[in-house]
Amino acid sequence: MDIQLSILNTSDKPIYRQLYDQIAFSIVVGKLRGGYCLPPIRSVASALGISVISIKRAWDDLEKDGFITTMVGRGCFVSDLTDEERRQRRNALALDELRESFASLKQLELTKDELISLIRENYPL
C-alpha cells in the first residue's frame, strides 16, 4: 500500500470517517495528486485489519464528494482538482472540523474574542 493510513480505535470518529478524512486531507494539501490510483479496497482492509465495508463506505463518500473517481475494472483515482477547488474543499473540511469542536467549546462559555485569542496564542504556525 503506497499511502500511509492509520486507524485509531480510541477515536470517537467511525473508521470510515477516519479514512475519508486522511485521504481527503491528503488530496487538498497536495500530497495525493490527480490521477493517483488508490489501493484496492480489499488490500486496505487486509493491511489495516478492518472490514471491507468500512473502506467501501469511505471510498463511496470520497467519490460522492468529488475527491475520487471510480473506473470499473481499473480502480479508484484521485480527481484532477484545480488549485481553487482544492482550496475550497480544504476550507470546507476545516470548517467541518471546527463545527465539531464548537459544541463543546460553547459549554465553556468562551466569548468569540477569547476563543480567537486562544487560537492566536496556540496555533503552531
Q: Is residue 3 in some structural domain?
A: no
Q: Is residue 89 part of a domain?
A: yes
84 domain residue, yes or no: yes
In a domain, 2, yes or no: no
pLDDT, residue 104, reads: 80
Of all residues in the chain, the percent with pLDDT exceeding 90 is 74
In 1-125, DSSP assigns E strands to: 68-71, 75-78
Q: Using pLDDT thresholds of 50, 70 and 90, give the confidence band for residue 28.
A: very high
Q: How far apart are CA 26 and CA 40, in angstroms?
A: 18
Total domains in the chain come to 1
pLDDT, position 125: 67
Q: DSSP secondary structure string, 55-83?
A: HHHHHHHHHHTTSEEEETTTEEEE----H
User: CATH code at 83?
Assistant: 1.10.10.10
Structural domain harbouring 69 = 15-122
Top pLDDT among 49 and 124 is at 49
Q: Please check the confidence at residue 84 and state whether its pLDDT lies above 70.
A: yes
